[in-house]
Amino acid sequence: MLDSKEFVKRRKQLMRMMGEGAMAILPAAPQRHRNRDSEYPYRQDSDFFYLTGFGEPEAVAVLVPHREQGEYVLFCRDRDPLMETWHGRRAGPAGARERYGADDAYPIGDIDDILPGLLENRERVYYSMGYSPEFDQRLMAWVNRVRARSRGGSHAPVEFVALEHVLHDMRLYKSPAEIKVMRQSASIAAAAHQRAMRMCRPDMMEYEVEAEFLHEFRRAGAWVSYNPIVAGGGNACILHYTENNAPLRDGDLLLIDAGAELHGYASDITRTFPINGRFSPAQRALYEVVLAAQQAAFDCVKPGSHWNVPHDAAVRTLTEGLVELGLLKGKVNELIASEAYRRFYMHRTGHWLGMDVHDVGDYKVGGQWRVLEPGMVLTVEPGLYIPAGSKGVAKKWWDIGIRIEDDVLVTKHGHEVLTKAAPKTVAEIESLMADGAVAGSAARARHA
Ligand code: GLY
Ligand code: MN
Ligand code: MN
């Protein structure tokens, strides 16, 4: 869990960048209705949580640099014994001050009376426009209230600035405390992938393997960072397959893309392994190509490298492998130039990772691919996908979908793979699954 000092530091840094005369407004994420009397599990807005560490809905954070009575104002739900009996504890304004470091805190019901006063005589408002039409309108109403009072000598803000532009750049660079949490999130997910390899047997259902992830995440106090993909055989060729309801067939591969969210930080791991514990020659040949592509991409993750360089390295290795195995015909350079590989590799090699699984941060700056710097975290996730019925492709390759995905921190001199505890080489996977099979049959014998 992050220390409250970390949140103070972030607010100070943002206010320093905003400068005098500015103000930032951030609403909490709304609670989302699932169906009659039932809500989706609440997940705080990442930007709001990044600055406040406050996990409740119906809250608005306001930062007012150099405001004498206090720079950090939090509006939140008032204490209410009846509501708390039904729906859970609330910090209330007093708790917001004592436990969350707010200089001033008010009941959210008072915001219409108080917020226009905070806007008065501020030049610039930092706000992420267009994400919540409802909140956009409320903000405009508050601004109009200030405009209406202008004859009294006060003036309304003259400029709206995209808050996310500044804030997302801050979020892209992970602090030592964030890296520590991301390492934990990565270890939890890596342990779950190991567990799945040990437990997997032919004829299990995909959702039974998914259950192992939920078990492993919850017992570590984590949750999923996105809907897990548990895809046997040809299902792995559907990139965002989340039905997870098919039987696992002896002889097929199983692709699992599942990550944890711990204290608001995501991990994102994909492993692909044989359901029966042994790769077939065709599966193994393709798997080695993807693994080599991932290594080629890793080699380019270091300070000074540009964002697209790991992707280009992975594409080259994948294309070379596809030519070697006869899946593509022609010259490697030409196949890359014509993007012939896209038939089997249609996504990019990674994304930023942080509080959001596809984390914030620009991939290009001034028209150029971003330069990697220490503290950035990204995924490296090459893959190959060959659905059944692929024209001109020998049958032995059909229904093979492989992705290998790890989370990588850019360090001062290179990189650190945060998810390396999840087994990955053919030898590691086959040996772990053989151990799992022995342990499984011993347990069955004991129960017989
Ligand atoms: N799990 C989403 C992704 O790999 O990008
Ligand atoms: Mn990913
Ligand atoms: Mn993933």
Q: What percent of the chain has pLDDT above 90? A: 94
**Which range, of 21-35, 70-84, 141-155, 282-296, averages the lowest pLDDT?**
141-155
For residue 268, which atom of ligand 1 is closest to its CA?
Answer: 1
Indicate which residues carry an active-site annotation. 37, 240, 257, 268, 347, 351, 358, 381, 385, 403, 405
Q: What is the band of 206 on the pLDDT scale with cuts at 50, 70, 90?
A: very high
Q: Is the CB of 226 under 6 A from ligand 1?
A: yes
Residues 6+ apart with CB under 8 A from 53: 2, 4, 6, 7, 100
Kindly indicate the confidence band of residue 448, based on its pLDDT and cuts at 50, 70 and 90. Answer: low
Q: Which one-letter DSSP state was computed for residue 60?
A: E
Q: Report the predicted TM-score, pTM, of the whole model to 2 decimal places.
A: 0.96
In tens, the pLDDT along 56-92 reads 999 999 999 999 999 999 999 999 999 999 999 999 9
Which of 104, 18, 14, 22 is CA-nearest to residue 51?
14
189 to each of 192, 220, 241, 382, how far by Cα in Å? 5, 10, 19, 19
Distance set, CA 387 to CA 115, 234, 396, 400, 410 (Å): 56, 6, 11, 7, 34
Neighbouring C-beta atoms of residue 366, cutoff 10 Å: 6
List the domains of the chain with CATH numbers: 4-171 (3.40.350.10), 173-446 (3.90.230.10)
Summarised one tens digit per residue, pLDDT across range 230-252 is 999 999 999 999 999 999 999 99
Q: Choose one of 241, 351, 402 to mutate for the ligand 1 pocket test, by most ligand atoms within 8 angstroms of C-beta.
A: 351
Mean pLDDT along residues 337-356: 98
